[in-house]
Chains A and B, each alone.
Chain A
Amino acid sequence: MATYILKRLFLMIPIFLGITVISFAVLHLAPGAPTEMQTMMQPKVSLEARARLNAIYGLDKPLHIQYFDWLKRLVRFDFGRSFSSDNRPVQEKIMERLPITLFVNILSLVLILVVAIPIGVLSAVHRYSLFDKATTLFVFVGFATPTFWLALLLMLVFGVYLDWLPISGLKSLNYEYLGLWGKVVDLGKHLILPVLLSAFGGLAGLSRYMRSNMLEVIRQDYILTARAKGLAERVVIYKHALRNALLPVVTVLGLSIPGLIGGSVIFESIFAIPGMGQLFYGAVMARDYPVVMGELVIGAVLTLIGNLVADISYALVDPRIRVR
């Protein structure tokens, strides 16, 4: 087992380097450098001023040198300074936002699990029933509905017409003046819509996956055996079948990290949530290379860790994976 983990860890290094090379190249291939985004189409900005800014940011060096400079800093866990005019360290910019994004994503992941797994199990057990058809319809509507459109609709209903929920942001203006309980309630109210929405779109994948796994397992001989033993249907389904059907879900969770980070870009912009997604969008638009690379590295590391954890836990529960 230890060798397996070690092997996986070593394999991650070339994968990680490959990710950074490709990200770096694609980012620099996109038209527009950060200095150009700041200066183009502006009178009073001479070409000399632009060249000067390029030199200050080191953008006049050849691309491979820029990459190795970046990599050298990364090894020392230095992501560099942002090219936007605030010039702050990238770590600082990301770290003040990362907890918010993780928090919202974990909440919505929990919500997805809590809703999707029962839906999947029940629709498998009662295959082709009315419940199966209705939930199938429901999750696919969720999957197909454009997030931004539904978000606006919900804001209009709950924020403007009914005035039950705040529209955007995470905290009210008077947040600092509230007591602990007031703060929790305030935060909770702000989180309802974003978490509901990001979960709504993610229900389909997991619930369908759960359903097909469950159907697969129910057909197995050991389920037949369990039934033949005369076990109660409840025990057969929830003890013997469900446990086995849950296994592959672990893997799916590991793989869903990039999707969640990608989704953050959209709902954080709509709901004005000061998280990583919002930062990422702005950085891409301004071609703020160090910030974009920093976020991609963090995304890549999270994904790799997610995969690793999924594989290890899979190996732990299923000995067949360990041996080649």
Chain B
Amino acid sequence: MPYNTPLDMKVLARIWEISGRMLLVWGVLALISCPACSRPEDSSKPPERPAESGPPCYGDTLITGSIGEPSNLIPILASDSPSHEVAGLIYNGLVKYDKDLKLVGDLAESFEVSKSGLVITFHLRKNVTWHDGQPFTAADVLFTYKTMVDPHTPTAYAEDFLQVERAEATDPYTFRVTYKKPFAPALASWGISILPRHLLEGRDIMKSPLARHPVGTGPFIFKEWKAGEKVVLTYNPDYFEGRPYIDRYIYRIIPDSATMFMELKAGGIDNMGLTPLQYARQTEYRKFKENFNKYRYPAFAYTYLGFNLEDERFKDRRVRQAVSYAIDRGEIIEGVLLGLGQEATGPYKPGTWAYNPNVKQYPYDPVKARKILQEVGWRDADGDGILDKDGIPFRFTIITNQGNDIRARTAEIIQRRLKEVGIEVKIRIIEWAAFIKEFIEKKTFEATILGWTITQDPDIYDVWHSSKTKPGELNFVSYRNTEVDALLEKGRRTFNQEERRKTYWRIQEILAEEVPYVFLYVPDALPVVQARFKGIEPAAAGITYNLIKWYVPKAEQRHNKLKADS
């Protein structure tokens, strides 16, 4: 499912990933949250053009820098985060996550889930129009669904929609889907961008001009796309939540992150994501602080050390626990993230409803680590400082992907700490494609440092269920636990949040006890925005959820001469 990627996730992606290819991974794992939408209950038109003195007011241009270029602005066909980021401002889904990460209606005014959990009925907003003036109706939704499940559509995200038994538009403003079995992530899956039927039906979607010139229902209207240079959007005067205050949104493509940082300082862009180094050391001077506002909140992502559980040594849970005790997470956060992150205890973001704060913790304790290893039979018999068992020394290799210094440095810190308890670690850094194809998919690794993005829906079936261990699937550590399997299946079938919470809390307890991954840290997202932009209210969803409410006071507007013919 193409989750729309809000600005701040991309920002994070930039921090961790140097090259565009990794953005793919982050992008799709990222959350639904239409970056441009404000609270739905606040659908009243914004005040008429306010008095010249008082904010908020219309005008000016927001220029965002991006390392990658969008590939296709029909979002169901794209798997990269720049495409979803830009498309997220042009299209809407039926539902979206609000600033508190609650699922609320977007193009749907309201929705009901039947008691059985099998039927979802969406009541659509009336008087919504496409950017070309055509009315939006349930037929568009039905068309989008049919396109998703059409085997000729080259989309990677058909899976959630193949669970649907029947989809129907019962009247122009009611859309109903029936599922074969209860499927909790179903509701969130309707956050996909709804496509205009009248422009796509009966045509080859792969050759549609909409890929380069999209027409949506969202707060911004597509204006132009200069390949390799920029994408320009202008405000939608008829947006159903009220027109955005900002007149234009320019998405500038700057492939080099150091160049982008200089463009920021020189005023060429207004917003980007900072690296921990830039945040802590390179932006702490007065002039920068006067000109920019820095934001900081936990990102929707975590980094972990994963063991290959088919390796004899790591099959023993106690060995994994010992490794976990031997690693000092605080030191990694201080040293690598410059303190801009927090310890991870499981696969969820601290503070969200699915996150269980009371799981078993592994504070740094090398003595305990050594003791456990000794109990399992790992002793330093030959006195060379490295533990051995049956004459075989405890040596293993941690692999991670190239182009990510933060992971490489994390590996070095772990290497040193494990050496202290008598385990010799080698580090190998491998180009991304080879890393995945030759090591992860073939399961020829011993341990790896990688990261996952945390999705809004807590369903983590793909990563932890024992049926997902085939080559190319995501449970590449080969974790198999029948209780976790059963809980994951139950979690997918449960709609009640309280019930689901219990299910996922239990899963976290088991994962903390069994340590298939050593959960390392949740980094902070570090976006920076030019100080003339007001109305930014950081919330659980980040900062860009209310982009349409951002504004620039008249006196500070910079790019108004550009506006002339927009």
Contacts and interface: CB of A to CB of B under 8 A. Distances in A.
Contacts of A169: 229, 252, 254, 268
Interface residues of B, number: 70
A50 B441 CA distance: 14
B376 interface: no
Contacts of B154: 52-53, 56-57, 85, 87
B207 A159 contact: no
Nearest to B75: A85
A323 interface: no
B469 to A, nearest CB: 12
The listed residue with most B CB atoms (<10 A of its CB), out of A39, A168, A281, is A168
Given A49-B158, A177-B564, A168 B259 contact: yes
A54 to B, nearest CB: 10
B156 A32 contact: no
B433 A31 contact: yes
Interface stretch (B21-29, B91-99, B355-363, B386-394): B21-29
Contact of A269 (B63, B256, B470, B562): B256
A40 B263 contact: no
B19 interface: yes
Given A49-B159, A86-B211, A41 B25 contact: yes
Contacts of A32: 432-434, 436-437
A265 to B, nearest CB: 10
A155 interface: yes
B228 A160 contact: no
A74 interface: no
A167 to B, nearest CB: 5
A47 interface: yes
Given A38-B156, A167-B266, A85 B228 contact: no
A42 B437 contact: no
Contacts of A163: 266
A contact residues, range: 35 or more
B230 to A, nearest CB: 8
Given A46-B159, A168-B263, A86 B71 contact: yes
Given A42-B29, A174-B561, A159 B262 contact: yes
A84 B226 CA distance: 17
Interface string B196-236: 00000000001100011000000000000011110000000
A298 interface: no
Contact of B559 (A49, A56, A167, A173): A173
The listed residue with most A CB atoms (<10 A of its CB), out of B19, B61, B71, B250, is B71
B259 A173 contact: no
B179 to A, nearest CB: 16
A269 B228 contact: no
A167 B254 CA distance: 11
A307 B287 CA distance: 54
Given A174-B561, A272-B255, A43 B263 contact: no
Interface string A71-105: 00000000000001111100001001100000000
Contacts of B61: 173
B536 interface: no
Interface in B449-466: 455, 460, 462-463
A235 interface: no
**Chain A binding surface SS class:** loop
Contact of A85 (B1, B72, B455): B72
Contacts of B77: 85, 87
Nearest to A168: B259
A165 B252 CA distance: 18
Contacts of B152: 56
Contacts of A254: none
Interface in A3-43: 30-32, 36-43
B438 interface: yes
Contacts of A37: 21, 24, 433
B159 A42 contact: no
A160 B79 CA distance: 35
Given A32-B433, A168-B268, 17 more contacts: A30-B433, A37-B433, A42-B79, A43-B28, A44-B156, A44-B160, A47-B470, A84-B71, A86-B71, A93-B227, A148-B256, A173-B63, A173-B250, A177-B564, A269-B255, A270-B259, A272-B229
19 contacts: A30-B433, A30-B434, A31-B437, A32-B434, A38-B80, A40-B436, A49-B155, A49-B159, A50-B156, A86-B72, A152-B259, A167-B266, A167-B268, A173-B559, A177-B564, A269-B256, A270-B259, A272-B256, A285-B19
Interface of A: 30-32, 36-47, 49-50, 52-53, 56-57, 84-88, 93, 96-97, 148, 151-152, 155-156, 159-160, 163, 166-171, 173-174, 177, 269-275, 278-279, 281-282, 285-287
